[in-house]
Structure 1
Amino acid sequence: MTSVFAVLQVLVSAALLALVLMHSGRDAGFGGIGFTPQSQGGTHIVERNLTRLTTIVAVLFFVNTVILYRLLA
């Protein structure tokens, strides 16, 4: 059972790393590419969805880390 969560940890961490690197600074990344017109807040829809997805993956990473700690402790 521990090996399943260990493999999941590697996959989730790679996904989290990729998602964080996709975020823009000021005018770079998906925010500066211009896939969609800007919304009222000045943020692209793609950027907001990327932020939501990053948050979900970060929570999965945290939960999986806690589970691995409980299994290995």
Structure 2
Amino acid sequence: MFGVRPVARAGLETGVCDRFSIVMEQGGNRLVLTSGVAPDSPIARHAALHGDGAQGFGSGNTRRCSAVEREQERRGNI
């Protein structure tokens, strides 16, 4: 949707028991969205205390090296 696609996730299915995270990507921009799974997790406690919010902003060059990019295109991953 809107050119944004999920590229990674972590949660119960990947062995992370206290939160669910998904990485969304559009071009070279990435956004990690995280939610607490259990009501006593640090993320859920923070949301209960402060409401929805954002934390941990950063920027940098996320461009892949050309050899990796070519291999991913060859495999159909891009």
TM superposition score category, shorter chain reference = under 0.3
User: More helix per residue: 1 or 2?
Assistant: 1
User: More strand per residue: 1 or 2?
Assistant: 2
- Give the TM-score of the pair, scaled to structure 2: 0.23
- Give the TM-score of the pair, scaled to structure 1: 0.24
